[in-house]
């Protein structure tokens, strides 16, 4: 049975958040809000935790889990930022997922067949508190079964994965933005918008290196 916590947007560091962070370090799953939608998190390096997440989400094998990090420095441990460093520096923390060449260490379920990983740094203070307390990258897909809409409110987050093995459910008083992140794949000669979101194509164009084109706009 899940332990449920409701936190204030201004005071995300309630003692229960420490316990939820410890649960993640122990390989358990935790539902928590981001600025976009509610996510369900697992240790992105712990293969057993990731297998649990795969089973719960019923996620296709060809769809890697996105990874959350606390800051740019943590992102650099697991991905090659390259020419995306400037846009990451300006838009992180925030609703931008960058698909980048993976370095190592992450669970295979977080890495695509062409060795790319989707990484983002969330703006939400609860998500940031968890990432800083754990000090590890977290695989955090949206809190929903594959193919269903993601949870954006406390009511929806309570209903998802009912009676499932989720250690903690952390709720915030206000709804999330409700719109998933912009997903931008970074390659040497082309940047591709894989999913449109809060960061616009016009904004992205301002960061394109010379000779690089933008697809999917």
- pLDDT tens digit sequence for 139-154: 999 999 888 899 999 9
Helix (H) or strand (E) holding 168: strand 168-172
CB 157 within 8 A of CB 38: yes
pLDDT score for 9: 60
Q: Could you tell me which of 167, 140, 169 has the C-alpha nearest to residue 154?
A: 169
Task: Give the whole-angstrom CA distance, residue 31 versus residue 182.
Answer: 21
Task: Look at residue 213 and tell me if it is in a domain.
Answer: no
pLDDT score for 44: 98
Stretch 195-200: mean pLDDT: 95
**What ranges make up the beta strands (E) of 148-197?**
168-172, 182-186, 190-195
pLDDT > 70? residue 62 = yes
- Could you tell me the pTM of the whole model? 0.93
Task: Give the whole-angstrom CA distance, residue 151 versus residue 166.
Answer: 15
Could you tell me the pLDDT band of residue 89, with boundaries at 50, 70 and 90? very high
Kindly tell me the number of DSSP H helices and DSSP E strands found in the chain: 7, 11
Task: Look at residue 117 and tell me if it is in a domain.
Answer: yes
By residue range, what is the domain housing residue 128?
A: 3-179
pLDDT > 60? residue 12 = no
Stretch 177-182: mean pLDDT: 90
Task: Look at residue 23 and tell me if it is in a domain.
Answer: yes
Task: Look at residue 192 and tell me if it is in a domain.
Answer: no
CB 117 within 8 A of CB 100: yes
Name the CA dihedral angle for 105, 107, 113, 114, rounded to a multiple of 10 degrees.
-30
pLDDT score for 7: 84
- Summarize pLDDT for 118-132 with one digit per residue, the tens: 999 999 989 999 999
CB 165 within 8 A of CB 2: no
Task: Look at residue 59 and tell me if it is in a domain.
Answer: yes
CATH code of 54's domain:
3.90.870.10
3-state secondary structure (DSSP) of residue 42:
strand
Task: Give the whole-angstrom CA distance, residue 119 versus residue 65.
Answer: 9
Task: Look at residue 107 and tell me if it is in a domain.
Answer: yes
Task: Look at residue 120 and tell me if it is in a domain.
Answer: yes
Task: Look at residue 119 and tell me if it is in a domain.
Answer: yes
Average pLDDT over the chain, rounded to an integer: 92
pLDDT score for 179: 86
Query: Structural domain tally of the chain?
Result: 1
């Amino acid at each position: 049975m899940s332990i449920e916590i409701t936190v204030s947007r201004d005071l995300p560091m309630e003692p229960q958040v420490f316990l939820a962070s410890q649960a993640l370090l122990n390989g358990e799953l935790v539902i928590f809000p981001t600025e976009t939608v509610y996510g369900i998190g697992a240790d992105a390096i712990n293969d057993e935790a990731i297998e649990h997440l795969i089973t719960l989400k019923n996620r296709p094998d060809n769809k890697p889990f996105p990874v959350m990090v606390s800051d740019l420095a943590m992102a650099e441990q697991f991905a090659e930022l390259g020419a995306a460093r400037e846009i990451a520096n300006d838009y992180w923390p925030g609703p931008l997922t960058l698909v980048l060449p993976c370095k190592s260490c992450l669970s295979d379920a977080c890495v695509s067949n062409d060795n790319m990983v989707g990484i983002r740094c969330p703006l939400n203070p609860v998500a940031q508190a968890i990432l800083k307390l754990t000090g590890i990258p977290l695989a955090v897909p949206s809190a929903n079964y594959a193919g269903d809409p993601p949870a954006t409110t406390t009511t929806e987050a309570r209903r998802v994965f009912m009676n499932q093995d989720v250690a903690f459910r952390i709720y915030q008083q206000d709804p999330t933005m409700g719109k998933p992140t912009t997903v931008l794949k970074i390659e040497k000669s082309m940047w591709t918008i894989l999913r449109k979101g809060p960061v616009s194509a016009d904004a992205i164009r301002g960061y394109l290196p010379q000779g690089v084109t933008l697809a999917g706009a």
